[in-house]
Structure 1
Amino acid sequence: MTVTLFSFVAMFDQQLATAVHLLDTGEAHAGGPGFLDWRLIDDMAPLRFQLRVIVNFSRSWPARVAGLEPPADIADDLDLPGFRIAIADARAYLASLTPAQFDGREDAPLTVALGTSMEPTLPAAKWLTGFATTNIYFHLSITYAILRSKGVKIGKTDLFAGGL
């Protein structure tokens, strides 16, 4: 199997599918949408923030690497149906991308502002394989941890709900 930049599109789609599974499982446990405001600890961002980052990064980083304008970030006040729509839209966006859009883009320099204090320029491959992937997995793991901390019956295999 050859790993290319386009390979990350399928991986990000799998993580979005896992996010849906965690969303469904959290809703079933909580009995309603209030779980979107659960936090791992008080000074950390809530579950809704974790999901927002997963959706936004899954769309915006492949777009940047492919040389496309990144889709607008999803709203930060989405409700449960809104998250379901946003995730479905993100998966449809990823499905619209093609391998040709990523060909030869490994070393394309991308300069991206990170907050107000950093604006590094890195090769596209570094952004996608290191920064974006790490952030998606981090926020997916925090989503899992928030749910577990509230007694949701999930295990390690739930992180592979979207596939291996």
Structure 2
Amino acid sequence: MALSMYEASVPLFLRGLDQLAHVLRKGAAHAEAAGIDPSTLVQARLAPDMFTLANQVQRASDTAKASVARLTGLAAPAMADDEASFDDLLGRCAKTRDFIAGVDPDAFKGSGERVVEMKMPGHQVRFSGQHYLLQFGIPNFFFHVTTAYDILRHQGVPVGKLDYIGPLA
């Protein structure tokens, strides 16, 4: 049986968002237990020229919702990018999850062939929906989820591989 575009995207994004929320909750708990100002972790980054934890969560959210929107032709919900706390970031994950989970699988019919255009700095890129999802959407989403995990780990939050991967069913 062939894997549908819905199956290749929605469950993957939902699981990634769930695990991102899991490591964020561990970050909040660590800050409380260690007496660390939570905003220190929310604004932490791996290198001076990289996004903060908050920005990584925002970009993961944006990529997940935009990928689903571009593949289905639906409008992604606008989000202000003003999250400043763990609760805000968890709320962002939940809103993104709600949007993605609410999309009817039938909306993905023909999405593998749908033309997806993206404006990049200095040029525009055209993909088929399948190429977009597999070559940009999924890798970009997991880049930001992984970097958020890495920031928390670098800041001493006790997270490990299974926190990132999640429960294995």
Q: TM-score, normalised by structure 1?
A: 0.91
Which runs of 5 or more structure 2 residues have no equivalent in the other structure?
Answer: none
Counterpart of 1:137 (choices 130, 136, 142) is 142
- The answer on 1:45 being equivalent to 2:51 is yes
**Separation in 1, partners of 2:75, 2:98:** 16
**Separation in 2, partners of 1:10, 1:42:** 33
Match of 1:113 in 2: 119
Could you list the structure 1 runs, at least 4 aligned residues long, displaced by more than 4 angstroms after superposition. none
Structure 1 residues 162 and 19, CA, compared in 2 at 3 Å: closer, same or farther?
Answer: farther
Structure 1 residues 19 and 108, CA, compared in 2 at 3 Å: closer, same or farther?
Answer: same
**Separation in 2, partners of 1:43, 1:94:** 30
**Separation in 2, partners of 1:105, 1:162:** 29
Match of 2:64 in 1: 58
Instruction: Give, in angstroms, the shift of residue 30 of structure 1.
Output: 1.8
**Separation in 2, partners of 1:123, 1:150:** 39
Same amino acid, percent of matched pairs: 28
Which runs of 5 or more structure 1 residues have no equivalent in the other structure?
Answer: none
Match of 2:5 in 1: 5
Q: TM-score, normalised by structure 2?
A: 0.88
Instruction: Give, in angstroms, the shift of residue 93 of structure 1.
Output: 0.8
Q: CA RMSD in A?
A: 1.7
Does structure 1 conserve the Cα–Cα contact (< 8 Å) formed by 2:20 and 2:149?
A: no
80-89 vs 60-69, which deviates more? 80-89
Does structure 2 conserve the Cα–Cα contact (< 8 Å) formed by 1:50 and 1:139?
A: yes
Report Cα offsets for 1:43-90 as digits up to 9, x if no partner: 211111100011111111111101112322x22221232222221111
Structure 1 residues 162 and 96, CA, compared in 2 at 3 Å: closer, same or farther?
Answer: farther
Instruction: Give, in angstroms, the shift of residue 24 of structure 1.
Output: 0.5
